[in-house]
């Protein structure tokens, strides 16, 4: 993190216990100065002062998580993170409100339109005037400090995210793979992230944690089989 960049303050605003299909979590909402978005820390177990807490820093994906889009793997990754934390009995999922890798929902839809014209996920962002990844992670440090987490085991396939968290002062002791099984509609997206963004996996040999969605039994129009997200 550049020490000359002013980092907005992030503070806890509200909290509650939330029952889910995976178990009951503690949910805390955080507000960031100068930003209308609110981030969530979804935790289970005693994490205060704990070392090597299982953590997922997950960026919002309305199209995948709400509309069940099959263009990406975001919803399955979020579900997997909540399930892994519940199975471990301790951990934190940070839900970060930075849609479309930081470009926002409307621009994400514009990027999708560019993908329909043949651009991959990286070049689509560039074609509409953005970098391939504009996400920031200063809020992760603030949220984890508020929860009292001493160090984390990060659920991610993205080594850049590990570096970004460490640059923002988060003690990441190690990374654990967080891969769900691809299907025809998102395989190109996953391959682009591996080839052009350095994500660490091999789709041909990986041991997948989650099977493809059952909706893939539907016969989709080949015209929608383009790179995604």
Cite the active site residues.
133, 135
How many C-alpha atoms does 76 have within 13 Å on its Cβ side?
20
Distance CA 147, CA 145 (A): 5
8 Å CB contact between 21 and 143: no
- The CA distance from 44 to 23, in Å, is 9
Distance of CA 121 to the CA centre of its chain: 16
Largest CA distance in the chain: 53
Backbone angles phi, psi at 84, to 5 degrees: -65, -40
Distances (CA, A) of 100 to 90, 134, 135: 29, 9, 9
Bridge pairing between strands 35-44 and 91-96: antiparallel
């Amino acid at each position: 993190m550049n020490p000359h960049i002013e980092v907005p303050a992030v503070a806890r605003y509200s909290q509650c216990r939330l029952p889910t299909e995976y178990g009951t979590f503690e949910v805390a909402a955080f507000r960031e100065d100068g930003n209308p978005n609110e981030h969530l820390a979804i935790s289970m177990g005693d994490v205060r002062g704990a070392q090597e807490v299982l953590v997922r820093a997950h960026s919002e994906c309305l199209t995948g998580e709400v509309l069940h889009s099959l263009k990406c793997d975001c919803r399955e990754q979020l579900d997997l993170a909540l399930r892994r934390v519940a199975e471990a009995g301790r951990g934190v999922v940070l839900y970060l409100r930075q849609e479309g890798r930081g470009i926002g929902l409307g621009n994400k839809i514009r990027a999708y339109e560019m993908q329909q014209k043949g651009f991959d996920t990286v070049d689509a962002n560039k074609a509409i005037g953005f970098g391939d990844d504009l996400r920031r992670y200063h809020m992760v440090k603030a949220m984890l400090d508020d929860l009292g987490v001493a160090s984390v085991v990060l659920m991610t396939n993205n080594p850049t995210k590990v570096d970004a968290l460490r640059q923002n002062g988060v003690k990441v002791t190690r990374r654990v793979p967080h891969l769900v099984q691809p299907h025809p509609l998102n395989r190109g997206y996953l391959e682009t992230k591996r080839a052009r963004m350095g994500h660490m996996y091999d789709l041909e040999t990986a041991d997948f944690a989650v099977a493809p969605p059952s909706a893939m039994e539907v016969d989709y129009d080949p015209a929608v089989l383009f790179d995604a997200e």
